[in-house]
Amino acid sequence: MKRGRVLVTGMMFYRPVAGVVYQVLHYLLGLERLGYDAYYVELADWWTLDPRTGEISADPSGSVEVVKPIMERYGFGNRWALRSQDSEMGITDRTLRDLVRSADALLNVTGQWLHDDLLECPLKIYIETDPLSAQIDVANGDAKTIEHLNAHDLHFTFGETIGGPDFPVPLERFEWLPTRQPVALDLWATTEPPSRALMTTVTSWHSDNKDRVWNGETYFWTKDREFEPFLSLPQLRPARFEMAVVGQPGVANTLRSMGWRVEEAAVISAQIDDYRAYISSSWGEFTVARDQYVRPRTGWFSDRSACYLAAGRPVITQETGFSDIIPTGHGLFAIESLEDALAAFDAIDEDPTGHQDAARAIAAEYFEATTVVGDLLERAGLV
């Protein structure tokens, strides 16, 4: 007997790349395994990314060609709806209206602007995956952000330690409840050892359209400024570091000149199986976090890094305060300097099997989908 019905909304069709698809899929699978009927609905006025051309398009068929087979593979073939501009795909309008009204809750993953039809859901839960920007907007009195957040009944955030002594912004108007990204561990399980002795990551490079200013201080969104202190790593540990980066003119050549191996992130992220294979083939992950997560010590952790852990691939990543919650030093390393990164890398090399086992154990204890989703639903009053 099913425990209820929960809808999930997000940006899976808008941006049908592997990391975004997995983010949604892990929620859907977590809900199903907890005994809920889970549906994905994406109702928006925006166009979608066409993976065939790499361009934003009014025609969502290219996006649907990627996402629909994945939904069918995992049992959600008749449980999704897309409304994009004039396009209506998936569940019919009448069925969709009935679903929204009869659902127990809506999980708004990544905090998308809610279409009017979704406002009829009795319990709307905002899941913030990128902390700090909304808190600054609210403190600055941004009416649009406040209206958007007011449309939800509960507000969860991946910033598990926001509001702590290093967090610069007063938390006003809204109560922020900590959560983290769920991972369906069986999707990442492998008995194969890494086929490449490379620390890898999949990342964007430069973006400044989401910078925020608080009390005259800028908190940056871009990743390149955070990678800068670590760019000499391949010179200190040659032929061991690779970055799959979103293509920008000159970036790949600059990285290669410093000893990095470089892949095109769009190619690796085009299909979920290729993305999983890339992660599973790696020795581990080396990455950084955005300044907006690091300096305010938000406690944020990457959903991609959680997938590396689930695949048994140790992770070296920038400290955001997550070490206050998740154990580090074995399978997972929180770093603040180049020296920290080198020490972590050498520790993994000295005992790769031990760190692989520790990575899997961390994923199982802290990121397993039914545990994370179940905890969220319990605090939302649904369990």
Kindly write down the DSSP assignment for every residue of 197-238, as one continuous string.
Answer: --EE-EE-----TT-EEETTEEE---SHHHHGGGTTHHHHST
Name residue 126's beta-bridge partners.
108, 155
Q: Where are the domains of the chain?
A: 4-182+368-379, 185-366
Q: Inter-axis angle of helices 352-366 and 338-350, to 10 degrees? A: 110
CA 273 to CA 278: how far, in whole Å? Answer: 9
- In percent, the amount of the chain with pLDDT more than 70 equals 100
Q: Which CATH superfamily is domain 185-366 in?
A: Glycogen Phosphorylase B; (3.40.50.2000)
Distances 191 to 89, 308, 343 between C-alpha atoms, Å: 39, 14, 27
Q: Could you give the 3-state DSSP secondary structure of residue 149?
A: helix
CA 55/CA 32 separation, integer angstroms? 33
Other Cβ atoms within 10 Å of 305 Cβ, number: 24
pLDDT, tens only, 186-209: 999 998 999 999 999 999 999 878
pLDDT in tens, 257-298: 999 999 999 999 999 999 999 999 999 999 999 999 999 999
pTM passes above 0.95: yes
Give the pLDDT of residue 367. 98
Residue among 307, 314, 349, 309 at smallest CA distance from 330: 314
- Tens of pLDDT along 353-381? 999 999 999 999 999 999 999 999 999 99
Of 292, 291, 288, 290, nearest to 305 by C-alpha is 288
Element (H, E) at 38: strand 36-44
In this structure, is the dihedral angle defined by the CA atoms of residues 192, 23, 127 and 132, taken in order, positive or negative? positive
pLDDT digits (tens, 9 = 90+) for 166-187: 999 999 899 999 999 999 999 9
79-132 residue pLDDT tens: 999 998 778 899 988 899 999 999 999 999 999 999 899 999 999 999 999 999
- Reading the block at residue 212, the tokens are 């925020």
| 25-42: pLDDT as tens digits | 999 999 999 999 999 999
Tokens of 244: 């799959």
Q: For tokens 């913030």, what's the residue?
A: 128
Contacts of 190 (CB under 8 A, 6+ apart): 280, 311, 312
- On the question of a common fold for 4-182+368-379 and 185-366, the answer reads yes
- Whose tokens are 């361009």? That residue is 55
CATH code assigned to 4-182+368-379: 3.40.50
